[in-house]
Every structure is written in C-alpha cells, then in structure tokens.
Chain A
C-alpha cells in the first residue's frame, strides 16, 4: 500500500483575493446604503385626496393697468427669474429667447370687437377637470392630481411637446436651455415641459394661497382669489356664487378650475 507522501500545498491566493474583495466591496457600498436610507425623506404622511379641488377666481375688473405683481411673484416663487439667455446678445437672438423662456403666468389685455370694451387679466394653466394636455401625453407625465392640480412629472416627461400643441390656453413652456440654477421647490431641467401648478409646494407644505394671489392682494388689488372649489363655505365658492363668472374657451367644456369675472 502506498501513501501519498507528497501532499500538494494548497494555493490560498484566490481565497485571499476573494476575502479582500469582499472587504473592499463592503467598505465601498455600506456607507452608500446607509446614507441613502438617511437621505430618503420621510414620505408625506397623507396622500393628496379629491376632497378638495383647488381653483381660482380672477376678477379682471380689479386687475390694475401697469401692474404685473403676479407675474413677478410667480417668477420669484418658481425660480423662473433664474432663467438666463444662453448666448447671443444681438436683438434677434434676444427676441427669440424671449419667446423661448418659460412663463407660467402672463398678463393679457383684450378688446371686444363690437363694443370696444377692454379687459386685462392674468392667464395661466386653467387646471381643467378634463385637461387635453393629460389626454395627449404619451407617457402620462402630464397628469392631474386628485386635488385638481394639473402638472408635469419631470421624471417621465420625454419633451415631445404634444401637451403644448393640445393646450387651448398656451399655458405650457418648454425648457429650451441648460438650467444651471434652480430652486429645490421648483425643479427644472432642459428638455422638459412645465406650467403653473398652483404653487404645488405650498399645497404640500400646508401653506395657504399662491404667490400670484398673495402678490395681487399685497398690491391692494385682490383680483386673484385662490381656494377650494369643493368647499361651499370657503371664500372662493362664496364669491363664485355671488359674482357672475365664466371659463375661458368654455365652448371646449373642459370645466376649468380657474374662473374669470368681468371678461
């Protein structure tokens, strides 16, 4: 009988390598996992419900000539004033850029063709009950929240601009340029579409009103009244029941959340 006297030495370098790799991996990944856990904020405890429907009443008779406080306030609130013209200083470039920069709210002045009656009013997303922009969006990025706010999910917007084709109010803007500076409460990125979201961060943080309505009130105009269209006792519905109002392009039967008086 023969015995295996010559015992081969086991090569342990592979084990060593695997062990070291495991340690390196753990050291690399673990802080990330921990930090990620910490970084993920506590989800908002309550989901948005359809118990409310946010809307507005704009009394154009109170909209004062020469005032653009609502536009300025919206720009500041939603970081629109941080937009910068990318390049080119000549007049043509600037004109084009002015047509490309995002605007959530603008002042429009109209004259009746027959009577010559003039009205001045702020226009923005009308937060339709049946929004055409939501119907046409191929990915569902354009959506309506349970509380009636129509907005864009910037994670799924592919920048096809079909919603801009579909919106009867020309309320939407496309981000034509690279964005360097933006506000946390109003994220913005090149190649996506956005529009007025009734200061949705305020809704989610429980802050009352919108920037435009506050600014208008601060000017003493009080032409913009923000509130809940489902609350019959709220100031908005109380006003709407007493003041004659209309929807812009009511022929489209979109049941807008923004109503106008005096137009």
Chain B
C-alpha cells in the first residue's frame, strides 16, 4: 500500500460557495422555523398531549443514530486493523461529529424551554437515561475529536488504536443509550423492550454507512478523485450486511411482541391496520428502504454501478427516516393500554376511544427544523473537508490496496 496523501476538497470556488449558500439557506430556514416555534409555542406544530415527540425527533434521532454509525468506517480501520479502511477514517470521524451536531441541534431546539439548556447541563438525575445521553453525546464529540487528532498529527499516531478502540466502545454505548430512551419506556407497548438497543445499533451501522458512502462518492466525484472497485465494493457489501442486520432485528422485535397476547393489537397496528404507519412501514422502510437497496447491492450487474450503489444508499436513508417515523410517531399514536381487557368508550383526553390511534400531522416548521439539522451537518462536513486534509487524494485500487490482495 502506498502512502496515503490527503488533500483539501478542491471544488471550484463558484460551485463550492454555491453549495455552501444552498446549505446555509436550508439551515437558515430551519433557524427561522425554530424562532417561530419558540416564539409561538408548540401549538403551531402538529404535536399534542398524545403525540408529544414529533417530526423534529424523527430527524434528530436519525441524525444521532447515523452519527455513531458513520464512525464505523474509522473503527474498522483502526480497531480491527483493516488497512483498506484507513484512508477513509478521517472523513468517517468528521462525519460522525457533523451528524451528531446536526442531530443535537434539532433535539435542543425542539425543547419546550431551549433557553434552559444550561439547566440540562448542570442539573442531573442519573436515573434518567436522558441524563446519561447528555454525557454520551458530549463525550462522543470530545473522543472523536481526539481520535481525529491522533490520525492527522504524527505525534498522535501511536494512540490511534487505543483511542479508536475507546471511541468504538463509546459509540456502542451511545447508540445503546439512544435505543434505550425507547427501550426503557415501560408505559408504551411499542417500546418497553431491550431489543430497541441492538436494533438502534444495527440501524446506526446501516444509516451511518449509507450517508458516509453518499458523501464520499459525491465529494470524490466533484473534484475528480478516483475510487477503486475494491474499496467501493467492500463498503457496498458491508452496507448490505448492515441492512440485513436491521431486518433481522425488526423480525425479532415483532416476534417478541407477537408472542405475548397483550401485544397482538400493536403488531396488527404496525403491520396491517395502522394507516400511514403501516404504509410507511411496508412500502418505505421495508420495501423501498431495505429490500430494494439489498436487491441493488447484491444484484450481479447493478451492484457494479456507482450510480446504483449511490441510489441504494439514498433509499436506505429514506427508509431510515421512515423507520424513525414509524417507531417514534407510530409508537406514540398507538393508544396506551390503560385498561387491559376493556374498551374505552369515552374520554376527555383522547385516550384511544374505541382503540383509535392518536392523530398527528407534521407541520411545516417541524419539517424545516429537521431538514435544517441535516443542512447543518452537511455544512460542517463541507467546510471540514474544504479546509482540512480529510479526503484521500485517491482511493484507486492501486493506491490503497496491496497488489497481491486485489481480486476484483
């Protein structure tokens, strides 16, 4: 393997500033949406006392989950010693930080009292997995920055492996924490299961890698850097395995729920009669967001096309957002089982009368805030690879693979 040379992203200034301007406008719209919701209160959103976490949480959790997954490429390189992945490690670390920052921003700006962030940073209840997550998230940022330093600074090289290992363990803890936000909720049938943690870890692997691949392919393509089949196909196969892992855990989730008679209604809600949630589950998450990408990634011909691989990544991202919507909004819309064995005939507080699901329709400001978070993540990435040497000059097979290993 040759020495890897990293260079700043050399996109023509016009294109680069154009890209930044577009992202800044989208992020700015997100900011305006926040200002509007903060000024008026959450009544302008689709959120209610029944569906208390709305579209911003869909984006925020998606970005946070994807952030830890984006770091995987670096982990495979330095923790598991796969030298092939090492040239990708810097981008992997940067993307992890950027996605986390975008996700956290959305999460914080959707608080009822975002002005009290300092309270959240100084007053803790350690029985709360939320409080632990505050440390897991900020710790992740610090550790990944240290990890990046060991990669880019010659003096830091000896520490790359231990710091990388630490970052890997931390990211597993982080996603476990994020999944457990839902897993620990005994009140709601859709959650209250330990499988949420591994499910979220598998999701992070898949969504993080899909976003990583999309950004990598775009960035390399824009300034004409080569990427060889060997690297690309490895990442492609990995994405396929991760999507498969998510599907496996989704099956486990439903089997677990289906085994107890008390959850028959919940499973039927998700799989058969849940309206928008059933449609999103089958058609967007499972079909378009998992099975289609799998079909592409393992197709004998399509899997060799860069455009098709990118499409598979895009579909995985769309499926990922749908999965979050189904889990977060659908899980709340499904009526809580206040009186097992009884049907609620009347209620002054929308307690699922006759088993009816709670109504929720995302509002424009919520969507803009969520997309604004995505734009912030992309802005950080775009600036990062422009000003720092994060992108390898070439990922061509001859530059990154030992010759005797190449068998494409």
What 1/0 mask marks residues of chain A from 78 to 117 whose CB sits below 8 Å from any chain B CB? Answer: 0000000010000000001101111100111111111000
Q: How far is the CB of B125 from chain A (nearest CB, A)?
A: 4
Give the residue name and chain of the A residue nearest to B262 (CB).
A251
Decide: A108 near B112, CB < 8 A? Known: A166-B187, A169-B338: no
**Contact with B120, one of A68, A139, A172, A251 (Cβ below 8 angstroms):** A139
Residues of A within 8 A of B344 (CB): 108-110
**Which of B128, B129, B188 has the most C-beta atoms of chain A within 10 angstroms of its own C-beta?**
B128
**Contact with B41, one of A134, A140, A162, A175 (Cβ below 8 angstroms):** A175
Q: Does B154 contact A (CB under 8 A)?
A: no
Residues of A within 8 A of B341 (CB): 112-114
Query: 17 A-B Cβ contacts within 8 A?
Result: A100-B42, A101-B49, A107-B348, A108-B344, A108-B346, A114-B341, A132-B187, A135-B127, A135-B128, A137-B128, A138-B125, A162-B181, A164-B49, A165-B52, A174-B42, A175-B112, A177-B40
Q: Does A136 contact B (CB under 8 A)?
A: yes
Q: Tell me if A106 and B43 are in contact (CB < 8 A).
A: no
Q: Tell me if B338 and A170 are in contact (CB < 8 A).
A: yes
Q: Tell me if A191 and B111 are in contact (CB < 8 A).
A: yes
Give the contact-size bracket for chain B.
35 or more
A158 to B111, CA, bound (A): 6
The 10 A-B pairs at the shortest CB distance, nearest first, are namely: A159-B112, A191-B112, A106-B348, A168-B187, A138-B130, A99-B48, A140-B125, A176-B43, A106-B349, A109-B346
Q: Does B217 contact A (CB under 8 A)?
A: no
What 1/0 mask marks residues of chain A from 136 to 164 whose CB sits below 8 Å from any chain B CB? Answer: 11111000000000000000111111101
What 1/0 mask marks residues of chain B from 177 to 194 whose CB sits below 8 Å from any chain A CB? Answer: 000010011111000000
Q: How many residues of A contact B (CB 8 A)?
A: 59
Residues of B within 8 A of A103 (CB): 49, 348-349
**Contact with B123, one of A118, A132, A139 (Cβ below 8 angstroms):** A139
Q: How far is the CB of B343 from chain A (nearest CB, A)?
A: 5
Q: Tell me if B52 and A174 are in contact (CB < 8 A).
A: yes
In the complex, which residues 173-195 of chain A have their Cβ closer than 8 Å to any Cβ of chain B? Answer: 173-178, 190-193
Residues of B within 8 A of A107 (CB): 346-348
Q: Tell me if B346 and A162 are in contact (CB < 8 A).
A: no
Known: A108-B348, A174-B112, A193-B112. 15 other contacts (CB 8 A): A96-B43, A99-B358, A100-B48, A103-B349, A108-B346, A140-B124, A156-B116, A157-B113, A159-B114, A159-B116, A165-B53, A169-B338, A176-B47, A177-B40, A178-B41
